[in-house]
Amino acid sequence: MTSKDDISGPRVPPPQTSEALFVRRVLIVALIATLIFALWRVSLVLILIFGGIVVAVALRNIAAPLARYLRLPDRIALIVTTLGLAAIAVAFFFLFGALASQQVSALIDQIPGAIESARDWLNEYAIGRSLLAAVGQSSEATLRLLAALPLAGGILGWLGEVVLMIAVGIYFAADPSTYLKGLIRLLPPRRRARAREILDAMSKALQNWLIGMTLDMLLLGVMTWFGMWLIGVPLPIALAVLSGVAVFVPYIGPLLATIPGLLLALSVSPTLALEAGIVYLVVLTIEGNISQPLLQRWTVSLPPVVNLLAILVFSPLFGIWGAVLATPLAVVLWVLVQMVYVEDILEDRVH
C-alpha cells in the first residue's frame, strides 16, 4: 500500500520569511566580522608562521641539492645545512661582525651630529632657511626619535621573533610532508590533487624569489660599499649592510637607506654629500633598472605595482614584519590568484 507521503512526494520546506532571511544574513555578517577580528588579533602569529615558511623554503632550497649530490638522507642534509649556516654566521660575525657592529654603532651615534651639520649648512642659504622654516621643529623631533630608537624599536622583541621564525622554519623543513598532508586533508578528496599542484607552485615561486633576493641584496651591498669607499664616505661597511638589508622592502627600503649615507657625507662636506648622492643614484639606477628586473625575470615574474601595493596593504596589517615579508606574501598570493581564480574559476588557462 502506498502511503500518503509517498503519493505527495518529498516535502518542500516552507519559504523563509523576510525576518528569518534578515536574521540569517546578520548572523553571517557577524560570523565573518568575528573571524576577521580573530585573525587580526593573531596577525603577529600568522605573519611569524609565514616567516617560518620562508625560512623552511630557504633551508630546503639548500638542503635538497646537498642531499642529491652527496647522497645524504633528507634529515641529515637539513642538519648539515642548518649547522653549516650557523657556522657561517658565527664565522662572519667574528671576521666582519665586530667591524660592522662598530660601524653601525658609530653610524647611529653620528647621525644626530650629521643632522645638526646639515641644518647649519642649510642656514647659510636663503632656500635652505626657507626649507627649515617649512619643516619647523622636525629636526628636534628626529633627534628625539633617534635617541629613543633602541628602546622604542623593541630590538629584543624583534630578535625573539626572528628566533621563533627560525625555529618554526626548522620544524617545517624537517618534515614538510606531514604538514602538507594535514593541510590538504582539510579539503574535499576531489580537490586534493589540484591543491597539491598549487602548493608546489607557491613553494617553487618562493624558492625563486629567495634566490633572486639574495643575489640582489649582495649586489646592492657590494656596489654601495665600493662607491662609498671610493669617494671616502665614513663607515662604508655599515652603509653597505644597511642598503643590502633594505632590499627586503622594495623601492621604499633602498631609498630610506640612502638618508644616513647622505647625512654622514654632508657632515664632512657638501661636496662629499653631492658625490654620495651621485653614487646612490647610480647604484639604485643599476639595481632598479638592470639587476632587479633581470633577476626577477629569471626567478619570479611579479608586476612592480604589486610589490608596492603589497607594502601599502601588509604594513598596516602586520606591522614591521608585514613590510619585510610583503614581497614573498605578494608572490604567494599572486600564484594563488592565478591558479585558483584565473585558471580554475574563470577557466582561462594558457596552453
What pLDDT does residue 136 have?
Answer: 55
CA-to-CA distance for 13 and 181, rounded, in angstroms? 40
Length of the chain: 351
Beta carbons of 280 and 262 less than 8 angstroms apart: yes
CA distances from 11 to 2, 7, 8, 14, 20 (A): 16, 11, 8, 9, 20
pLDDT of residue 229: 92
CB 299 within 8 A of CB 208: yes
* pLDDT tens digits, one per residue of 147-191: 444 444 455 567 778 888 888 888 888 888 888 888 888 888 888
- Whether this prediction's pTM lies above 0.75 is answered by no
Amino acid at site 260: P
* Residue-wise pLDDT tens digits, 300-340: 767 777 777 888 888 888 888 888 888 899 889 888 888 88
Calpha distance 237→230 (Å, rounded): 12
Return the SS3 of 349.
Answer: coil
Question: pLDDT tens across 58-98, in order?
Answer: 888 888 888 888 888 888 888 888 888 888 777 766 765 55
**pLDDT at res. 143:** 46
First to last CA, the chain: 60
Whether residue 207 contacts residue 57, with contact meaning beta carbons closer than 8 Å, is answered with yes
Provide the 8-state DSSP code for 191.
G
Return the amino acid letter for 17. Answer: T
Measured distance CA(303)–CA(308) in Å, rounded: 9
Q: Is 142 exposed, middle or buried (0-12, 13-18, 19+ CB in 10 A)?
A: middle
pLDDT at 159: 77
CA distance 176 to 146: 42
pLDDT, tens digit (0-9, with 9 covering 90-100), for 264-307:
887 788 888 889 999 999 999 988 788 777 777 776 767 777 77
Interval 44-56 mean pLDDT: 88
Side-chain-facing half-sphere of 225: CA atoms under 13 Å: 14
CA distances from 284 to 69, 251, 290, 306, 307 (A): 37, 9, 10, 20, 17
The answer to whether 320 and 158 have CB atoms below 8 angstroms apart is yes
